[in-house]
Each structure stands twice: as C-alpha cells, then as structure tokens.
Amino acid sequence: MTEPISRSRPPGRVRGTRQAAAIEDTLREADGFRTAQELFDELRRRGDSVGLTTVYRNLNLLVEAGLADVVHREDGESQFRLCGHSAAAGEHHHHIVCRVCGRSVEVAGPEVEAWADRVAAAAGYTQISHTVELFGLCPDHS
C-alpha cells in the first residue's frame, strides 16, 4: 500500500485512460479543494475536455481508494482534493479550507479525537464518527 500516486497505477484496478489521468493531474495542480463542476471547467479550459459524469465517477473512485478527501461545504456541495501530501493516506485528519480559493492545510487533531470520544462516551453513545471541517480565509485572501 506504500505507493506514491505519482504515475503508477495498481495494474488490476483502474485503467490508464487519458481522462482519469487528466482529472488526477488537474486536481493535483489545483492544490486545494475543488468541486466537480470547477474541475470540469478547469479541464475544459486546459483542453483536456472530460465529461462531467466521468469527473464525478473518477472523483468517487479516488475517494474510495483513499487517495482523495471530500469535504462538504456549508451549502452542501462537495469539494475534493488529493490527499496524502503531508499526512499518510488513510490517516485520520481534517482540513482548513479557504473559502475563496479552496487552498487547504491538513491538520491532525488528536485532541479533537480524544474530546469526541470522551463526550460521546459520557453521553452513552457508541460507534462514533465525527465530521470536523474548518473554513476560513487563507493568508492570500485575508
């Protein structure tokens, strides 16, 4: 499982199509969270036109494979970003996402995890999952 996402694809899983590569590349270069629509537009602008359906499908594949993260904006729209930059893929972490440009920083919050477990236990709840998302303005947009 220790495989960089650079170019190598697990040979049995995803097929190396032009579209999948374009989506992954664009998402990587974006270096921030993007919605499917935004990605679709950026791809078209780049000349690597890809169907919106394909964008959604590949994004979901990336998420399932643990290669991308999703955060749900306050308006409910989903934003995607390749993960594993600073944290090990699969590791639990959260994000601070810029409301303007989508640029984000991965943050690990052991205290938050501990807090979540503690209050949940105190309330008698089990099998806790939690959603922690921070939105703000990055240094360039403050």
> Which residues sit at the interface with its own copies, rule CB under 8 A?
72, 74, 76, 78, 96, 98-99, 105, 107, 109, 111-112, 115-116, 119-120, 123-139, 142
Question: Residue 86 interacts with DNA (CB under 7 A)?
Answer: no
- Nearest approach, Cβ of 48 to DNA (angstroms)? 9
Q: Which does 119 bind (CB under 5 to 8 A by kind): its own copies, DNA, none?
A: its own copies
Q: Facing residues of 80 across strands?
A: 34, 70
Question: Residue 2 interacts with DNA (CB under 7 A)?
Answer: yes
Q: What is the rounded distance in angstroms from the CA atom of residue 111 to the CA atom of residue 14?
A: 37
Number of residues in the chain: 142
Closest CA to 134 of 101, 110, 103, 98: 98
